[in-house]
């Protein structure tokens, strides 16, 4: 069963958080170590961080097929900061991995306790959608 674990941020600005360098390094080292563990256990399908919201665009199809882009987002919008796709035997394993991500260290090494959204991935659209 494949799951997508989504890490969202409310931060509408750009750039890395204004934490002491050592705290940022500890956070990144934690994420690398977690990804290595998941790769070693064969559970990791893909993990990516996304660029900051100031580089995001919202695209709609224009009438002539030319994309109409908009770079302005409401301050309160939640942004996807990064995601993991894992292949596990049951939902509990996906939740356990999400909890590890949630506990990634922040300033002073304290766990961030981030909310991680866990969603099963469809193998194909359900037949009733076709």
Task: Give me the least distance between CB of 113 and other proteins, in Å please.
Answer: 5
CA angle 47, 85, 20 (to 5 degrees): 40
Q: Is 18 in the site for other proteins (CB under 8 A)?
A: no
Q: Is 51 in the site for other proteins (CB under 8 A)?
A: yes
Task: Give me the least distance between CB of 22 and other proteins, in Å please.
Answer: 19
Burial of 5 (0-12, 13-18, 19+ CB in 10 A): buried
* CA-based nearest residue to 101, from 2, 5, 1, 4: 5
Number of residues that bind other proteins (CB under 8 A): 53
Contact track, other proteins, 63-102, x by CB under 8 A: --xxxxx----------x-x--x-----xx--xx-xxxxx
Q: Is 54 in the site for other proteins (CB under 8 A)?
A: no
Q: Report the alpha-carbon distance of residue 51 to residue 53 in Å, rounded.
A: 7
Q: Is 108 in the site for other proteins (CB under 8 A)?
A: no
């Amino acid at each position: 069963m494949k799951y997508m674990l989504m890490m969202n941020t409310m931060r509408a600005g750009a750039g890395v958080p204004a934490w002491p360098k050592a705290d940022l390094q500890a956070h990144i080292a934690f994420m690398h170590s977690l990804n290595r563990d998941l790769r070693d256990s064969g559970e990791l399908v893909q993990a990516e961080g996304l660029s900051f919201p100031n580089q995001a665009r919202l695209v709609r199809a224009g009438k002539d097929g030319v994309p109409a882009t908009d770079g302005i987002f409401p301050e309160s919008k939640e942004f996807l900061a990064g995601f993991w796709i894992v292949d596990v035997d049951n939902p509990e394993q996906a939740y356990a991995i999400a909890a590890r991500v949630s506990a990634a260290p922040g300033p002073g090494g304290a766990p961030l306790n981030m909310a991680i959204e866990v969603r099963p991935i469809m193998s194909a659209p359900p037949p009733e959608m076709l």
